[in-house]
Amino acid sequence: MAFTQFLFILLNIGIIVGAKKRNVLLIIADDAGFETDVYNNSAIHTPHLHALAQRSLIFHNAFTSVSSCSPSRSTILTGLPQHQNGMYGLHQDVHHFNSFDGVRSLPLLLSQANIRTGIIGKKHVGPEEVYPFDFAYTEENNSVLQVGRNITKIKLLVRKFFQAKDDRAFFLYVAFHDPHRCGHSQPQYGAFCEKFGNGESGMGWIPDWKPQHYTPEQVKVPYFIPDTPAARADLAAQYTTVSRLDQGIGLILEELRDAGFENDTLVMYSSDNGIPFPNGRTNLYWSGTAEPMLLSSPEHTQRWGQVSQSYVSLLDITPTILDWYSIPYPAYSIFRNKQQVQLTGKSLLPALVSEQPWATVYASQGHHEVTMYYPMRAVHEGPYRLIHNLNFKMPFPIDQDFYYYRDRWELYNTSADPSETQNLAADPAHRDLLQRLRDQLLKWQWATFDPWVCAPDGVLEVKLSPQCRPLFNGLD
């Protein structure tokens, strides 16, 4: 018995001869899209993302499960949709949304498994007890401009983390604030903070940044953005900020190599939600949920540089990282006397070996800011996307977007109609498909303890056994 306990301790601290430490570097951009040649945008120069892609599996069907900052980051760090972990909207200031106290997040689970955890950049989730990090330089204790956009500062913090005298395996989460808009908060730096640190008078200087400038004529306008001079000017500013993000990623990967960790570290790159333009962020269309996703494993070189068409979700990040460390997900309940929590995401590690038949992802949106409430649920299976607008009687109330009414059910064939303009929900030819996807979405909502599972036709009653109580509000 004593030997067994001693062996367990040795395994836990990773000092058995021949045991190889596995590390993780997770890089998340802020409101980034496909502004890179990795995703066939030749108008912008991103050599460091290109180099990472050559060592990665490139996912062409990666999606966020919620298109808003704090909710998305909570799903990344818990593997639970926003309606399940409690981060219904933005975390900061008057919005003040937090995950439930009982949620067991990725950094919490890793810490319990004796893995060193670090975060640099934009955290934007809470409470601290749910999302603890051993090493933390975020907006909570620093300027988010410095820890999220100053790539020299970020480089030095990464170096500090790597040089710590700590032999444990590590998880480092670098959460850039680029290329998020900043014209609403720091207009002196430009619409996307593209002037921040460029060396001009009053802008400060980021020594490692070599600004890349673009003209409005050079940009590639996404299909869902009106092609206007104002939009092109915005995109040109965004491209400059993306170039800072790209150079920052290059610096981080160089630090990883110099520290000797490149050959035992899983590197993941993605973004939190759609780009901050009309029809982008806060929407559950492709334009609001599709994300870049690169997965680089030093142990799986056979698919480096290849493209995967498998459907993956940001909900898959936590299961993937737990799988990399061989850490099982615990059996627990968020609330007392309720069902146990189960992850609905999956590990992406099998895709590093061979193409997987994954073809379904889910999404759940509630709030953005506290007053910007428009609950939606969605399932995307193969070419079809079904969106349930729970508050369809109200106009879409999100800033930076169009204020208009939407149908309760939206069904699109994204293969035949990539712009998602032809709603098939009322088409008799798609009646069976609509019902099947509705049933599938409802099943996922029940599995993830969605408090809105009965809306808008009823309310959820959970005191005895979970059931929907009808509301006689005239809705079908």
Q: Per-residue pLDDT tens for 410-457?
A: 999 999 999 999 999 999 999 999 999 999 999 999 999 999 999 999
**Comparing C-alpha atoms, which of 275, 450, 310, 449 is closest to residue 377?**
450
Q: How far apart are the first and last CA of the chain?
A: 63
Query: 159-184 as b/e, with b when 16 or more CB fall inside 10 Å?
Result: eebbeeeeebbbbbbbbbbbbbbbee
Bigger pLDDT: 471 or 136? Answer: 136
Q: Per-residue pLDDT tens for 257-301?
A: 999 999 999 999 999 999 999 999 999 999 999 999 999 999 999
14 — phi, psi (to 5°)? 70, 35
The pLDDT-based confidence of 462 (bands split at 50, 70, 90) is confident
Fill in the DSSP letter of residue 199: S
The answer to which of 315-329, 350-364, 385-399 has the lowest mean pLDDT is 385-399
**Comparing C-alpha atoms, which of 238, 203, 201, 232 is closest to residue 219?**
232
Specify whether 69 is catalytic: yes
The number of residues making up the chain comes to 476
- The residue annotated as part of the active site, out of 69, 182, 193, 454, is 69
Q: What percent of the chain has pLDDT over 70?
A: 95
Q: Per-residue pLDDT tens for 216-260?
A: 999 999 999 999 999 999 999 999 999 999 999 999 999 999 999
Residue 83 token pair: 């309606």
Which residue bears the tokens 């790539």?
A: 151
Residue 192 token pair: 């996307």
Inform me whether the pLDDT recorded for 401 exceeds 70: yes
Tell me what the pLDDT averaged over the chain comes to. 94
